[in-house]
Amino acid sequence: MFQKVAFIGAGSMAESIITGVLAKGFLSTEHIWVTNRDNQDRLERMKNVYHIQVTQDKQTAVNDADIIILSMKPKDISEAIQSIKPFVNKEQMVVSVLAGVSTDYISDILASGSPVIRAMPNTSAAIGFSATAIAGGRSVSDHHIDLVKTLFQTIGTTTVVDEDDLHTVTGLSGSGPAYIYYFVEAMEEAAAEAGLKQDVAKELIVQTLVGAAEMLKTSEDTPSVLREKITSPGGTTQAGLETLEKYKYQEALMACIKQAAARSIELGSPFQKK
Distance CA(116)–CA(113), nearest Å, equals: 9
Round the average pLDDT of the chain to a whole number and report it. Answer: 95
The band of 31, judged by pLDDT with boundaries at 50, 70 and 90, is very high
pLDDT grade for 268, boundaries at 50, 70 and 90: confident
Give the separation between CA 30 and CA 4, rounded to whole angstroms.
8
The 10s digit of each residue's pLDDT in 204-257 is 999 999 999 999 999 999 999 999 999 999 999 999 999 999 999 999 999 999
Q: Under CATH, what is the fold of the domain 176-264? A: ProC C-terminal domain-like fold (1.10.3730)
Q: Is the pLDDT of residue 274 over 60?
A: no
pLDDT of residue 270: 85
Helix (H) or strand (E) holding 75, with range, is none
Q: What is the rounded CA–CA span in Å between residue 228 and residue 223?
A: 9
* Stretch(es) of the chain classified as CATH 1.10.3730.10: 176-264
**Which 3-state string (H, E, C) describes 81-149?**
HHHHHHHCCCCCEEEECCCCCCHHHHHHHHCCCCCEEEEECCHHHHHCCEEEEEEECCCCCHHHHHHHH
Share of the chain above pLDDT 90, in %: 91
Q: Give the pLDDT score at 273.
A: 65
CATH number for the segment(s) 5-164: 3.40.50.720
The 10 Å Cβ neighbour count of residue 75 is 12
pLDDT of 94 > 60? The answer is yes
What is d(CA 54, CA 220) in angstroms, rounded to the nearest whole number? 47
Q: Where in the chain is the domain with CATH 3.40.50.720?
A: 5-164
CA nearest neighbour of 68 among 33, 94, 35, 89: 94
Whole-model pTM: value is 0.88
* Beta bridge pairs of residue 69: 7, 95
pLDDT digits (tens, 9 = 90+) for 137-185: 988 999 999 999 999 999 999 999 999 999 999 999 999 999 999 999 9
**Residue 59 in this model has a pLDDT that exceeds 90:** yes
